[in-house]
Amino acid sequence: MARMDVVSKQTAQKIERLAEQVMRAVKGGKNPFVEIPVRSLANVRFDPRKRIVQLGGQRQKRYFFNVAMAKKFMQTFLVSDACKELVESGKTTSIRDLYYITKHTIGETRQNTFEEQDESDPIIEDLEVALDALREELHLFASRKGSMVGPITIRDSGDTIDLRRMGSGGWAVPSIVEENVIEFVRHEARYVLLIEKDAVWTRFNEDKFWKRERCVILQGGGQPPRGVRRLVQRLHAELKLPVYVLVDNDPWGFYIYSVMKQGSINLAYESMRMAVPDARFVGLSSFDKDKFRLPANVAIKMDDGDVSRAKQMLGYPWFKEARWQREIQEMVRSGVKFELEALSRRGISFITEEYLPRKLKEKDWLE
């Protein structure tokens, strides 16, 4: 608990410093501004040594006395104020809540401080990078989805939970999984398996795959939310568990893997704490259709969007390696994609009993 106070105090101080700096500028007759690292593709680069996507050095000044920026400047401080209050009172809330907290009508006008949540969400991200504070440190969380089971015991906000006894639904991964909320107590896991889809994860749980294989299985309902990614990263970094990713055989699946591995463009400033450059792609590979004798009628034809997306991936620096190139090229060449569920054609538990064990045994994965 003491630690948490230190972090909160620091966060509150950061916000205060931001405000004081503005007030100093105004006192000195200057146009006050907030400096914000640019969060766009132009300011994102792949660091080949750390093997993650990172924010570049570009910063942008948000002035108050500038017609185009004044409103955002004002919004930045409304959000800052609200966050400072959250931090000081020790409460955490959703970003949707924050939108309602900060929304009100301005003066005698019909203008609102925020018209849509779409307006306040980017201001929050701006503030995170400007303060160099995590969203969690601002006491905010985004949507919550994702579940986890496995031979591990954790402590969540003081409650000790054995993830072997989570029934069919598993433990719901919260949005904030920092050490002050989630602690790892003990475990017997040998690795972490991140599964793209809820339905497939359910199969793994029902088949008690995690028990047999002694692993932690997680799912993030498609593109995993920050909480899930951060948790995977902590399991990898703190418990030294290798991470395997199991996704559909389509460009979107590859992209999910790529985000887990190097971070996303949108959240590039958090790659350091979210990405697992060593994450391994176990499937579904474009070559699995032959290896596992999948009938042609379970294939789905790729549309134009799929093809161009796949071709674009051929250019990603982290997919430059020959095996990855072959993998993606095979997808483009064959013009078809497969869902994980396609494996069920070979038997309902084929994926847990034959497919994955064989892939792991043969070390048939990509990195």
What are the residues binding other proteins (CB under 8 A)?
Answer: 15-16, 19-20, 22-23, 26-27, 29-31, 64-67, 70-71, 73-74, 77-78, 80-81, 84-85, 106-107, 109, 111, 113
Q: Spell out the residues 6+ positions from residue 234 whose beta carbon is closer than 8 angstroms to its own.
A: 177, 179, 182, 184
Structure tokens of 183?
A: 């602690």
CB of 58 to other proteins, least distance (A): 12
Q: Is the peptide bond before 241 cis (omega within 30 degrees of 0)?
A: no
CB of 170 to other proteins, least distance (A): 41
CB of 2 to other proteins, least distance (A): 24
Question: Which CB, 32 or 263, lies closer to other proteins?
Answer: 32
Question: Which CB, 15 or 217, lies closer to other proteins?
Answer: 15
At 365, is the secondary structure helix, strand, or coil? coil
> How far apart are the C-alpha atoms of 186 and 239, rounded to whole Å?
10
- Compute φ and ψ for 256, nearest 5 degrees: -60, -45
Question: Which CB, 6 or 106, lies closer to other proteins?
Answer: 106
Query: Can you point out the beta strands (E) in 82-203?
Result: 93-94, 140-141, 147-149, 152-156, 159-162, 171-172, 182-187, 191-195
> How far apart are the C-alpha atoms of 118 and 115, rounded to whole Å?
8
Question: Which CB, 59 or 333, lies closer to other proteins?
Answer: 59
Catalytic-labelled residue, pool 100, 244, 255, 269:
100
Question: Which CB, 71 or 291, lies closer to other proteins?
Answer: 71
Q: Is 257 a catalytic residue?
A: no
For the chain, give me the number of helices (H) and strands (E)? Answer: 14, 17
Whether 343 contacts 355, CB under 8 Å = yes
CB of 107 to other proteins, least distance (A): 6
* Continuous H helices in 62-113: 70-89, 95-102
CB of 307 to other proteins, least distance (A): 25
| Burial zone of 229 (CB within 10 Å; 0-12 exposed, 13-18 middle, 19+ buried) | buried
Active site residues: 100
